């Protein structure tokens, strides 16, 4: 989300590649997919943002659940099989198989799990 306090225009903050996007709290959003390229226009219209999203779609790791660059937060009560679900996610990603026969995993990737 773009902060209302920081418009995407030539006078806003940049990082050398274009304007920096901010979350609703005003914190800069970092990441390869989070910075729009500044192509000399004075500002970004809704149509420009929609066109950019169509030209640069997210790269799915698990279609409909997790894209490259996303952070997945899993929350639940104690003993609700959160750890098992995370292991199933890791297995599906590493094997390139469907997660719970519902979410498609288009490519297999190397992954690791770290215990908290």
DSSP letters spanning 43-54: B--HHHHHHHHH
pLDDT for position 39: 56
- Rounded CA Rg of the chain: 18
pLDDT confidence of residue 43? 73
User: Tens digit of pLDDT per residue, the chain (116 long)?
Assistant: 443 444 444 445 555 555 566 655 666 666 555 555 555 555 778 888 888 888 888 899 999 999 988 888 999 999 999 989 999 999 999 999 999 999 999 999 988 877 66
pLDDT of residue 6: 40
Q: Where are the domains of the chain?
A: 1-57, 58-116
pLDDT at 98: 94
β-sheet bridge partners, residue 14: 19
Cα(12)–Cα(43) distance, rounded to whole angstroms?
10
The predicted structure's pLDDT at residue 61:
93
Q: Of 70, 59, 9, 60, nearest to 36 (Cα)?
A: 9
């Amino acid at each position: 989300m773009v902060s209302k306090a920081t418009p995407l225009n030539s006078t806003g903050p940049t990082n050398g590649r274009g304007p920096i996007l901010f979350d609703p709290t005003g914190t800069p959003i970092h990441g390869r997919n989070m910075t729009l390229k500044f192509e000399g226009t004075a500002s970004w219209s809704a149509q420009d943002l929609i066109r950019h999203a169509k030209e640069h779609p997210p790269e799915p790791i698990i279609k409909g659940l997790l894209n490259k660059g996303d952070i997945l937060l899993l929350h639940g009560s104690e003993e609700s099989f959160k750890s098992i679900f995370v292991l199933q996610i890791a297995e599906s990603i590493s094997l390139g198989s469907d997660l719970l026969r519902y979410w498609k995993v288009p490519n297999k990737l190397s992954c690791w799990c770290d215990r908290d």
